[in-house]
Amino acid sequence: MAEFEREQRIPVDPQAVFDVARDVNSMEAWLPDGLQVESSGPERVTGRVSIGDEIDEAEGYLAAVPEQRRLEWGDLEGAGYSGWLQVDEDGPGSSRVVLHLDVRGEHPGAVGGEAHELTDEYLGQALERLAALAADRVT
């Protein structure tokens, strides 16, 4: 298993950042390229990862814990991806967002090399996009 974690400070109120992050309909705007998520029921999502000509699709869960401003997700089989996003206050009108991802099994991101490095970059990209989207929503 490989673990990835990135942190970003965002000059937007934490509740506003969390509201943007948990909106399944807006996730594609901040998730890394090639990753799509759509609702498939209460706390259920279908995730698609496109890498080149390969498309991997899996059913998963997405749970929001509003009082903690936390999202948790993973595949239902428990053999691939899981993670969480936590939004905390970082001073007046500012947030600290931590994005954590666990990759299990034979997934390229779990075994090192270029895929491992790309996965880490994608987390940073996702946080940058979330920051921009949250800033746009409050202005």
| Residue 84: predicted pLDDT | 97
Q: Does the residue 55 lie in any domain?
A: no
CATH number at residue 86: 3.30.530.20
Blockwise average pLDDT, block size 10, the chain, 139 residues: 93 97 94 89 88 82 97 86 96 97 69 74 95 91
Who contacts 134 (Cβ-Cβ below 8 Å, separation ≥6)? 10, 12, 16, 17, 20, 21, 95
Q: Does the residue 44 lie in any domain?
A: no
Q: Does the residue 54 lie in any domain?
A: no
> What is this structure's pTM?
0.89
Q: Does the residue 123 lie in any domain?
A: yes
For the chain, the domain total comes to 1
SS3 call for 1: coil
Q: Does the residue 49 lie in any domain?
A: no
Q: Does the residue 53 lie in any domain?
A: no
Task: Identify the domain containing residue 22 by its residue range.
Answer: 2-33+60-137
